[in-house]
Structure 1
């Protein structure tokens, strides 16, 4: 049994009480803009295997009681705040103990459109990404793993491809100036063919 709440909850706090959702195996909490606290009582969600959370920009604390979920195998977060992610880092994060029993914990960050890059908990690239996010660089960095979240394919369209330049950074063909260049090249190619 699966449950996805997408823009469907307007509260600041969500409390899943003891005995709640006894057969649920997947829980998705998506785009809950004002949620700042998630509490899971012991005895709730006993069969839960996977949780996806985010974006929830105000959620800065790992869900209370998540350590009670003994069957949890997969915990995924989308576009979460820097503070939230840092609180879970192994050896340093004060909330790492809450998630250390979960075999797979990862974080998804949007690269462009519906393309995401994923990072595993404790990955040094994740910390670098969070540092770059703070600095608000406008140039994209090279991506080793791009994935379209909805289809699972590495690239969905030509416009989603990241092209490295001489500096080692990359640019996207989806940027307006490159779309215009591509359109111009295609137009020239078609005119040449017609002549």
Structure 2
């Protein structure tokens, strides 16, 4: 699996930590967390988040709100309020 270039995770509501080994996937270009905004929001608070994901050009998260799908970049998480994060998928 070290040559994997795209990885989609989720929905996985119990995943509360950065997946072990992501930092070893050196060819990974796209990492998507599907319906895991709350989990990813809290993962980004981990001091290792940047170190583990720095080699991945595109880290995205998706969520469904009011029947519409949203696709956002990891940088967008910092603009979300914790109360909003708790309400969405």
For Structure 1 versus Structure 2, the TM-score category normalised by the shorter chain is 0.7 to 0.9
**SS of aligned partner of 1:122:** helix
Structure 1 gap ranges (5+): 1-44, 138-195
Q: Supply the distance in 2 between the matched residues of 1:80 and 1:52 (Cα, whole angstroms).
A: 11
User: Would you identify which runs of 4 or more consecutive aligned residues in structure 1 move more than 4 Å?
Assistant: none
Match of 2:71 among 106, 113, 118: 118
Match of 2:83 among 131, 153, 156: 131
Q: Supply the distance in 1 between the matched residues of 2:31 and 2:37 (Cα, whole angstroms).
A: 16
Matches within 5 A, 1:43-82: 45-80=1-36, 82=38
Match of 1:107 among 61, 64, 80: 61
Contact 1:119 1:126 (C-alpha < 8 Å) held by counterparts: no
Tell me the C-alpha RMSD between the 2 structures. Answer: 2.3
Kindly indicate which of the two structures has a greater share of residues assigned to helix.
Answer: 2
Matches within 5 A, 1:153-168: none
Contact 2:34 2:61 (C-alpha < 8 Å) held by counterparts: yes
TM-score (norm 2): 0.80
Greater length-normalized contact order (CA 8 Å, ≥ 6 residues apart)? 2
Q: Supply the distance in 1 between the matched residues of 2:85 and 2:27 (Cα, whole angstroms).
A: 33
